[in-house]
């Protein structure tokens, strides 16, 4: 269990210079401060820890983090963060389902150098070919290789499996913790899909997994090759959904999670899903990304995104 980390005094910096926190973020000063801190911590960590065998970890962003912001604003945030890998969702105008609007979004992302590696969470609540196929087409048009799926009923899985084979797109069922009627943890998903096509697997949400009473690190090892996406967040208490904090400020075993992913030769993305402060998420996002980069550098993982 990691010790909670003290949040950097962003508000103090803002007050000293006479800016609001939003002004400070927009000016880019906060980004510079956080990244400078990350470089110092990463260098110290790297000097202490030898490189580990296994796959390099890729960091990405779940667009739901910026659900109260437009696509243009989200692109601006991603460029400030130097995180150019996005798990896009049909929220605001991030990646609309309507084909013409989707094409416009794809043009904007390509112009900004942002690569879409997953889409979701997408909900599959009906066992109808036309509805399910439309969502596979949506991802095919975007060149997305992983569908992050919310709450597909078990009876829809045979139909989904047929389309997974047809489209050659991986289908990652997202667990939503103790409130989820179907998929509390990745282990529930694994039981349902273990004999299906190997392109059907899990998007492990570490916060929901921990709240379901499942050991996140153990779940990664058990799911193994069927881990297709991972949503990273941190909690101050594994008993409270409302206790989310920036990554590194809570009790989530972040380094152990990264080591487990490396051990299973995970080749997907770890997407930050920062669900708190929806009107002003960037300070916590910066802190979270900087912390994860520092941990990865200490492991000898030199890939930043």
Phi-psi region of 122 (alpha: psi -120 to 50; beta: other; left: phi over 0): beta
133 within domain boundaries:
yes
Asked if residue 303 lies in contact with residue 85, where contact means CB atoms within 8 angstroms, the answer is no
Whether the CA torsion 169, 141, 137, 174 is positive or negative: it is positive
Number of domains in the chain: 1
Please tell me the distance from the alpha carbon of residue 288 to that of residue 249, in angstroms, as a whole number.
9
Tens of each residue's pLDDT in the chain, 305 residues: 444 444 443 333 333 333 333 443 343 444 444 444 444 444 344 333 433 445 689 999 999 999 999 999 999 999 999 999 999 999 999 999 999 999 999 999 999 999 999 999 999 988 999 999 999 999 999 999 999 999 899 999 999 999 999 999 999 999 999 998 899 999 999 999 999 999 999 999 999 999 999 999 999 999 999 999 999 999 999 999 999 999 999 999 999 999 999 999 998 999 999 999 999 999 999 999 999 999 999 998 855 45
Q: Which domain holds residue 123?
A: 10-298
304 within domain boundaries:
no
2 within domain boundaries:
no
Q: Which residues contact 304 (CB under 8 A, 6 or more apart)?
A: 59, 82, 293, 296
303 within domain boundaries:
no
Please tell me the distance from the alpha carbon of residue 82 to that of residue 3, in angstroms, as a whole number.
27
135 within domain boundaries:
yes
CATH of the domain at 181: 3.20.20.150
232 within domain boundaries:
yes
Three-state secondary structure call for residue 214: coil
pTM for this predicted structure: 0.84
4 within domain boundaries:
no
């Amino acid at each position: 269990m990691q010790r909670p980390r003290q949040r950097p005094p962003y508000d103090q910096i803002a007050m000293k210079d006479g800016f609001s926190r939003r002004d400070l973020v927009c000016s880019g000063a906060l980004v510079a401060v956080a990244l400078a801190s990350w470089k110092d911590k990463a260098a110290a960590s790297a000097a202490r820890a030898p490189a580990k065998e296994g796959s390099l970890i890729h960091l990405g962003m779940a667009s739901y983090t910026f659900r109260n912001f437009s696509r243009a604003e989200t692109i601006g945030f991603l460029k400030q963060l130097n995180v150019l890998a996005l798990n896009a969702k049909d929220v605001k105008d991030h990646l609309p389902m309507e084909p013409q609007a989707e094409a416009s979004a794809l043009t904007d992302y390509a112009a900004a150098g942002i690569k879409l590696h997953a889409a979701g969470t997408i909900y599959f609540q009906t066992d109808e070919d036309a509805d399910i196929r439309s969502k596979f087409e949506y991802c095919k048009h975007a060149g997305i290789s992983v569908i992050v799926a919310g709450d597909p009923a078990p009876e829809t899985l045979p139909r989904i499996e047929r389309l997974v084979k047809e489209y050659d797109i991986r289908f990652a069922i997202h667990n939503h913790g103790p409130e989820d009627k179907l998929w509390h943890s990745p282990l529930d998903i694994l039981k349902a899909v273990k004999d299906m096509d190997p392109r059907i697997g899990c998007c492990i949400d570490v916060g929901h997994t921990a709240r379901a009473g499942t050991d996140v690190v153990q779940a990664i090892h058990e799911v193994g090759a069927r881990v297709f996406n991972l949503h990273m967040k941190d909690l101050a208490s594994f008993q409270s959904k409302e206790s989310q904090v920036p990554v590194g400020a809570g009790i989530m075993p972040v380094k152990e999670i990264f080591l487990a992913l490396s051990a299973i030769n995970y080749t997907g993305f770890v997407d930050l899903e920062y669900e708190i402060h929806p009107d002003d998420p960037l300070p916590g996002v910066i802190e979270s990304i900087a912390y994860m980069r520092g941990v990865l550098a200490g492991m000898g993982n030199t890939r930043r995104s």
